[in-house]
Amino acid sequence: MTDIQIGFAGIGLLLTLIAMRVPIGVALIGVSFGGIWILVGERAAFGSLGIIPYSMTATWQLSSVPMFLLMGFFCFHAGLTKGLFDAARVWLSALPGGLAIASIFGAAGFAAVTGSSVACAAAMGRIAVPEMLRQKYDVSLATGTVAAAGTIGALIPPSILMIMYGIIAEVPINQLFLGGIGAGLLTAFGYVTVVMVRATLNPALAPRLEERASMADRLRALREIWPVLLLVFGVFGGLFGGFFTPTEAGAVGAFMSMAIAALKRTLTLTNFRAALMETLLTSGALFIIAVGASLLTRFLAFSGAGDYLSEFVVAMGANEIILLIGISLIYLVLGMFLEPLGAMLLTLPILLPIIESTDYSLVWFGVVLTKFLEIGMITPPIGLNVFVIKGVVGDVASTSTIFRGILWFLLADLVVVTLLIVFPDIALFLPRVLG
């Protein structure tokens, strides 16, 4: 076999292992290590296994990942985000599907203190779904709304996916964060439109609340969201104002969330330990996949398979729109079976050189890629956010019921993606003006 054939055989074996439900980090490391051994020998394989894990995880920018995760887990366990849904509820309850809309904006607010779609869905699921069911909301609408709203967590900064993409693609992370704001807000308003249209056409899905909150109640609810507002303005005001880097912003956010929780006296020793443990476990899982992706990049470089694919696509002279449609289909299909970070790190070593050969902005592509990956979080048969909500609500709703409620939001997502492609300034305006 030639080197290129060995490279393609490795990719085929990798996809087979993933289809067999082998953990993606293990599959990436195992296939890449074996492929390097076959191509250039035992010493090079063990040398790569010794050097790449350190060189990858010792990246200064990567230290922002556990810091932003710690910020989110402090906020969650200390209850700093509890007031988000209540504030949205008292202000938006008069709208058709007001509680569902409140859960969407509550998720958008929670997204500003965590970079995880799963964490966002879990937090809002515990708060919003029981309240909607108590008000006789349709089960599929209530659960589907929160599962979909959780995907906003990876679009509005801080976003773990965008940090990882920025490091690999060598794109400024603050520009990706700015681009994600436009995509995140567009997604939120798309979901709100779905809820309002469905609730207007079929009021039985979302009965209107009989009680009306007074202005005093509304102002009192706003006072409860001060921890999140202080955190957002402190971290992102400093980041986009140029006072500190994205890496430093993560540390500032973790410290501020801990200090605010201590000030509110909601940071117990149990909460502190739980936040630290979840940060360690999540960071460890992310870094293992990242190390595997770096090894895959080295394997593809040795084999020449990655360059061969890039040169083949360029030589075909494919229309850039057709190329983008093909990449979109790849991520929509992968999203059905893989978690987002794994899908991204599996494909970027191959697709990045192709994108760099076009006129597309890498910042714009990072935002669109993140959106595609988050669509996978609610796409059957393996939509992680759906199973998170299922775990939260238990026997109240079946998995098929939640997926049925998701379908309307998937349509909204496709419209959002289309708008991002047709009007790239949605993602590029803020990076161009403020970046």
Residue 305, classified by CB atoms within 10 Å of its CB into exposed (0-12), middle (13-18) or buried (19+), is buried
Instruction: Give CA–CA dist 150/249, Å, rounded.
Output: 23
pLDDT band for 435, please (50, 70, 90 cuts): low
pLDDT of res. 428: 92
Determine contact, residues 144/404, Cβ cutoff 8 Å. Answer: yes
Given a cut of 70, is residue 318 above it in pLDDT?
Answer: no
- How much is the average pLDDT of 222-247? 80
Instruction: Give CA–CA dist 104/191, Å, rounded.
Output: 7
Determine contact, residues 140/402, Cβ cutoff 8 Å. Answer: yes
- Residue-range definition of the domain harbouring residue 418: 61-289+303-434
Domain assignment present for residue 44? The answer is no
Task: State pLDDT tens for residues 365-398.
Answer: 999 999 998 898 888 877 778 888 888 788 778 8
Domain assignment present for residue 15? The answer is no
Nearest alpha carbon to residue 198 among 104, 333, 294, 326: 104
- How much is the average pLDDT of 21-27? 82
pLDDT of res. 314: 63
Q: Which of 88-102, 203-217, 301-315 has the highest mean pLDDT?
A: 88-102
Q: How far apart are the first and last CA of the chain?
A: 48
Determine contact, residues 160/55, Cβ cutoff 8 Å. Answer: no
Determine contact, residues 417/371, Cβ cutoff 8 Å. Answer: yes
DSSP symbol at 304: T
The domain tally of the chain equals 1
Instruction: Give CA–CA dist 142/322, Å, rounded.
Output: 37
Domain assignment present for residue 219? The answer is yes
Domain assignment present for residue 87? The answer is yes
Domain assignment present for residue 294? The answer is no
pLDDT of res. 413: 93
Least confident range from 101-105, 254-258, 267-271, 330-334: namely 330-334
Q: What SS3 class is residue 397?
A: coil
Given a cut of 60, is residue 351 above it in pLDDT?
Answer: yes
Q: At what angle do helices 340-356 and 269-303 cross, to 10 degrees?
A: 40
Q: What SS3 class is residue 113?
A: coil
Domain assignment present for residue 123? The answer is yes
Domain assignment present for residue 11? The answer is no
Domain assignment present for residue 349? The answer is yes
Residues in Cβ contact with 387 at an 8 Å cutoff, skipping those fewer than 6 apart:
399
Given a cut of 80, is residue 119 above it in pLDDT?
Answer: no
